[in-house]
Chains A and B, each alone.
Chain A
Amino acid sequence: MAIETSNECMSVAQAQALLQQGVDCRGVGDHPPRFQTGDKVRAKVIHPITYTRLPRYVRGKIGTVTKVHGVYVFPDTVGQRLETKPQYVYSVRFAAQELWGPEAAAQDGLYLDLFDDHLDAT
């Protein structure tokens, strides 16, 4: 699906409302999420020369799904003006020691919102 861009300019009032209140960008999924809260997931090891929102320091690391956010368009493809590829987004907790090794504090964790295409089941 190609990206449709609006031919209508945003009014000043619309821009103010957008900036002050934000906007809900959630889409609707026609299938259940692949992962549930509590599931272990592994971030994919990928190095696309184009665009990705998957940070280098989590690639290959195992985390735990803490929340299913819903369905959103996929920035990795939308950012290149390719398909919108709507998919589930999850909050994934990575233990600090999983990311940074034994020198990191044992109780610390880092939460990242990651897309289905960034994750593999473990």
Chain B
Amino acid sequence: MNGPHDMGGMHGMGPIPIEPDEPVFHTEWEAKVFAMSFATFCHFFPVDETRHASERMPPGDYLSSAYYERWLYALELLITEHNLVTPAEIEQRMAELAQGE
């Protein structure tokens, strides 16, 4: 796929920000996304499938997303494509969380 991930030789994106003491995770949700992704791709998906999934993110979203936001996109795409969870169930849970439940 000639997607936005294949950036070798692309100009105009600015310098890569380098943090001197970069933490493994910047927030708790990043750690959760990492754990859920590992739990599913060891169990249900070959790891290459998750990379293929994140590359299918719409290019504008891909380029403006953080690293673990791409992981989350791939996870949600694959668990719905494999009928483990429905998009409606994800929407419902998001609404519950937004209400503090």
User: Which residue numbers of A lie inside 8 Å of B, CB to CB?
Assistant: 3, 5-6, 9-10, 15, 47-52, 55-57, 75, 78-81, 99-100
CB-defined contacts of B14 to chain A, threshold 8 Å: none
Nearest chain A CB to B75 CB, angstrom units: 15
**Total A-B Cβ pairs within 8 A:** 49
CB-defined contacts of A9 to chain B, threshold 8 Å: 39, 42-43
Interface segment among B46-54, B58-66, B83-91: the answer is B46-54
Residue B9 at the chain A interface, CB threshold 8 Å: yes
- Nearest to A10 among chain B residues (CB) is B42
* A99-B9 contact, Cβ under 8 Å, with A50-B1, A52-B1: yes
Contact A79 B6 (CB under 8 A): no
Size of chain B's interface in residues, with CB distance under 8 A? 17
Bound: A5/B82 CA distance, A: 13
Contact A51 B9 (CB under 8 A): no
Bound: A99/B38 CA distance, A: 35
User: Which residue numbers of B lie inside 8 Å of A, CB to CB?
Assistant: 1-2, 6, 8-9, 38-39, 42-46, 48-49, 51-52, 55
Contact A3 B46 (CB under 8 A): yes
* A56-B8 contact, Cβ under 8 Å, with A48-B1, A50-B1, A51-B55: yes
CB-defined contacts of A75 to chain B, threshold 8 Å: 48, 51
Contact A81 B49 (CB under 8 A): yes
CB-defined contacts of A47 to chain B, threshold 8 Å: 2
CB-defined contacts of A49 to chain B, threshold 8 Å: 1
Nearest chain A CB to B64 CB, angstrom units: 21
Contact B9 A57 (CB under 8 A): yes
Contact A78 B1 (CB under 8 A): no
Nearest chain B CB to A24 CB, angstrom units: 15
Nearest chain B CB to A45 CB, angstrom units: 12
CB-defined contacts of B38 to chain A, threshold 8 Å: 15
CB-defined contacts of A6 to chain B, threshold 8 Å: 42-43
Interface centre among B6, B38, B48 (most CB of A within 10 A): B48
